[in-house]
Amino acid sequence: MPDISITAVLLLCLAATAGWVDAVVGGGGLLLIPALVMGLPPGMAGTFALGTNKAVAIVGTTGAAITYVRRTPIDVRIALKVGVAAVAGSMSGALFAAGISDALLRPMIMVVLVGVGTFVIFRPSFGTAPATGPATRRRVLAAILLAGCGLGFYDGLFGPGTGTFLVLALTALLHFDMVNASATAKIVNVCTNAGALVMFAVQGYVLWQLALLLAAFNLTGGLIGARTALKKGSGFVRVVLLVVVFTLVAKLAYDQWVA
């Protein structure tokens, strides 16, 4: 493990509890990735922050996914179908990551997020109604292609907000309520994290000792977050979703025009 001060390690452990946000609606990387970038020694490639974040996030996401599966009825078969596509998508995205400019992607993502946030605000019923029954084959195929392959590719390519996008996509495509969508998204997100982690690990961009420590805090946050979402319901998840969406917009805007 690189030489990191005790203060930096403590702050990283605090940031790792963002597993709570990730478990509810995704977006935990908004806190942990910047914290890793600032906490790692100067001159260390930012790719180490991305790779280490994946090793941490997959632990908390897995814990949250197990909690959801045990406590709420979800269609695990659909989740796994989308998840398998997500593994392939995230690994493919990681292969192309070096050739894509962040400066090009950030404005596009900000426009999409602002549009999504506006839609959710003016459609109060979005994601709050009960699921409309078994998903049709056409809707499942759309989820495999868009939520699995598409967002999996995005996670490997760029990453921020993948869990949030998954919740929105599954709600829209499969007509899930937000608790059910968040539960399904956790399984899919485990798969996207796994695919990207393999690529980062093969290239030697994971600080395993640091990741193991932070994973314990991330897992705790993830377990608490999943229980909170299940207890509070879709209305609570909707509010957290909006907070995360506009926080992500602010973070991307800062990175684009200020940092």
pLDDT in tens, 38-90: 788 877 766 788 889 899 999 999 999 999 989 888 888 999 999 999 999 99
- In this predicted structure, the answer to whether residue 131 has a pLDDT above a threshold of 80 is no
**Measured between alpha carbons, how far is residue 246 from residues 7, 111, 215, 237, 243 in Å?**
29, 11, 26, 14, 6
- In this predicted structure, the answer to whether residue 36 has a pLDDT above a threshold of 80 is yes
96 confidence band (pLDDT: 50, 70, 90): confident
Per-residue model confidence (pLDDT) at position 100: 58
In whole numbers, what is the pLDDT of the chain averaged over residues? Answer: 84
Rounded Cα distance between 5 and 41, Å, is 9
The structure tokens listed for 130 are 């009960």
CB 156 within 8 A of CB 192: yes
Q: Tell me the range of 64-68, 104-108, 133-137, 234-238 where mean pLDDT is highest.
A: 64-68
CB 182 within 8 A of CB 20: no
Rounded Cα distance between 57 and 63, Å, is 10
| Domain ranges within the chain, ordered by starting residue | 6-257
Q: Exposed, middle or buried by CB within 10 Å (0-12, 13-18, 19+), for 69?
A: middle
Per-residue model confidence (pLDDT) at position 238: 83
